[in-house]
Chains A and B, each alone.
Chain A
Amino acid sequence: MHSADRLARLFLLPLFLFVAAFFLLPMVRLIGVAGSGPNGMAEYVAILTNPRYVATLVATLLLSAAVTAATLAIGTVVALFLARNRFWGRPLLVSCLTLPLAFPGVVVGFMVILLAGRQGLLASLSMGLGMGRWVFAYSMAGLFAGYVYFSLPRVLVTLMAAVEKLDPALEEAARSLGAGRFEVLRDVTLPGIAPALMASGAIAFATAMGAFGTAFTLATRIDVLAMTIYTEFTLNANFATAAALSIALGLITWAVLALSRNLAGSGVAAAG
């Protein structure tokens, strides 16, 4: 019994080394770097007092929250429809909807430019209609579109599985008791898929908080946290601020994931 325990602990060694090498050491180093600037450990306070960083932080949070809400709303509607209807071409449609999973953020950014850039589809369409040139690719709206597109498949797959697992008799029971469509949705369907909404919403939020590729392609004029971190340490060689912002980004995202995991009571994995 005892030797078996020791053996089991031995097998845990690679895990421990992995965590130490790729998680603990970099984190400690990051915390150290953040304190190595001219402000010392006050750097953490500096990022909360500097209006530009605070604005970036708030903008990133709002963007991520909006992306999460929009993705969940679209995802729920599409998942309910796809899980309950069988029609010709459905498997193809489902696989098309999961296509964004195959693209890196840069490609998603490129697609947003093709859609809403200066030479994009919407621009030529609105020009043709004499309504001026519609360009929103390089703004928060472009980033929002890209992130929703990017997050939707992850949310959709999770929600579809949850809807399919829901006992159809639950909704039939509610209807037999006199509940209309809205009441069934509010009282039965949404509570039934709440854990999946929590889990996939957390993933969408974490993805939007940390996504860099799309932001890098689009966000020449807007500041989101990942972009600011990049600019601070590449262009300004401001390692301390970059490190402090990284930790702030990590902590916020981690807190949201932890909170939703607590509320959902099921595993939530970070992604992006």
Chain B
Amino acid sequence: MTAPTGAAISIAGCGKTYPDGTRALSPVDLEVKAGETLVLLGPSGCGKTTLLRLIAGLETPDVGGRIAFDGADVTALPIEKRNVGMVFQSYALFPNMSVIDNVAYGLRVRGVATDARRAQAASVLAMMRIEALAERRIDQLSGGQRQRVALARALAVRPRVLLLDEPLTALDAALREHLRSEIDALLRRLAITAVYVTHDQAEALALGDRIVVMKNGAIAQVGTPREVYFQPADDYVAGFVGITNRLEGIVRNGRFETAAGILRVAAPDRAKARLLFRPEAVRLVSPADATLVFQVTQVEFQGPRQRVTLNAGDGTRIIAEAPADLPLSAGTAIGLVLDANRYILA
């Protein structure tokens, strides 16, 4: 199979309001580069699936919205004319067809002769390393096999854009991780443009060239996994991607003052401020060497490291990661050092 060439997707002013007045998506603008894997991340009801369905052509955007593939306007084209591949959470394999007939279906409706389409479908199955399943019935497959078949079916028509709607959500954790790295390798090898919807931040961070974090039908942040993780645009993004600690306080004379102590910051005075940081961003030291001091309430040994729960004094809970060999015990005081580039003052 030759590598399909992915199309660049351009989304301009696309919103979606349902007939009953529910606004699922506020007008958004978004560019997806050719060959890129873009992940739409957010909780259920954030509009990520609606945006995917707009790109697919399963929904039409509100008046004024425009979607283009490689510059050509496809807004008015229904999904069957867009040459997209789609993978669903429920697999959506045709139960009345065998595995190979499922994979060959897109070629069949395109009028490819039986022998040619079966050969082509077989080569896609071989690429997915599931050629042994070709003649199986769908109800004889496990969840992971079903999703591989669904992926093969979507790829068999050499789509310009591959759309994946929570493809791993229905699988158990171990299989999910395994298939995730398989999909990652596949997308990179094929260099196909892919839009991947998920509510799982680990999946988003692992798969995405870029991540679009969505909230209440709007885009909260667009960025690379590193940007989204280390420089979240706001409190919401920080909270959704990874564990984030929050300390409430005020900023006065270049110092952030909170229940646990103070931290020197380069920021103007503020009556209400929030310090956001990740568990792995901190260093735990002796209380004498730090300006922020906490009570250790719980120590969880995890092998390579320890996860420590700290109390700021006013009841605020902080999660911190510490090296496995650092002596820590519940009930003692501990100092916390936070380097300037490892927190956000919001």
Contacts and interface: CB of A to CB of B under 8 A. Distances in A.
What size tier do the contact residues of chain B reach? 20 to 34
Most buried by A among B80, B84, B93, B154: B80
B92 A172 contact: yes
Given A174-B105, A176-B56, A177-B153, A188 B94 contact: yes
A74 to B, nearest CB: 24
A7 B274 CA distance: 73
Interface residues of A, number: 18
B85 A176 contact: yes
Interface in A153-208: 167, 169-170, 172-180, 183, 187-188, 191-192, 194
Contacts of A192: 95-96
Contacts of B88: 169, 172-173
A178 B83 contact: yes
Contact of A170 (B84, B94, B157): B94
B14 to A, nearest CB: 19
Contacts of A179: 80, 105, 109
Given A183-B109, A187-B105, A176 B94 contact: no
B94 A174 contact: yes
A186 B324 CA distance: 62
A180 B81 CA distance: 9
Nearest to A169: B92
A175 B88 CA distance: 13
A172 B105 CA distance: 13
Interface string B76-87: 001111011110
Interface in B61-117: 78-81, 83-86, 88-90, 92-97, 105-106, 109-110
Given A170-B94, A179-B105, 12 more contacts: A172-B58, A172-B92, A175-B80, A176-B56, A176-B79, A176-B85, A177-B85, A179-B109, A180-B109, A187-B94, A191-B95, A192-B96
A177 B109 contact: yes
Contacts of A170: 92, 94
Contacts of A172: 56, 58, 79, 86, 88, 92
A103 B22 CA distance: 42
Contacts of B79: 172, 175-176
Among A172, A174, A178: residue with most chain B CB under 10 A: A178
A240 B80 CA distance: 63
A192 B138 CA distance: 13
B286 to A, nearest CB: 58
A194 B157 CA distance: 28
A177 B92 CA distance: 12
A192 B109 CA distance: 18
Given A176-B56, A177-B105, A178-B106, A169 B80 contact: no
Given A167-B90, A169-B88, A172-B86, A177 B96 contact: no
A191 B101 CA distance: 14
Nearest to B154: A176
Contacts of B97: 187
Contacts of B109: 174, 177-180, 183
Interface string A203-215: 0000000000000
B154 A191 contact: no
Contact of B96 (A169, A180, A191): A191
Contacts of A183: 109
Interface in A212-235: none
12 contacts: A172-B79, A173-B150, A174-B94, A175-B78, A176-B80, A176-B84, A177-B105, A177-B109, A178-B157, A187-B96, A187-B105, A191-B94
A170 B86 CA distance: 11
A173 B96 contact: no
A174 B93 CA distance: 9
A233 B206 CA distance: 81
A191 B95 CA distance: 9
Contact of B106 (A169, A177, A191, A194): A177
Contacts of A194: 96
A180 B80 contact: yes
B90 A169 contact: yes
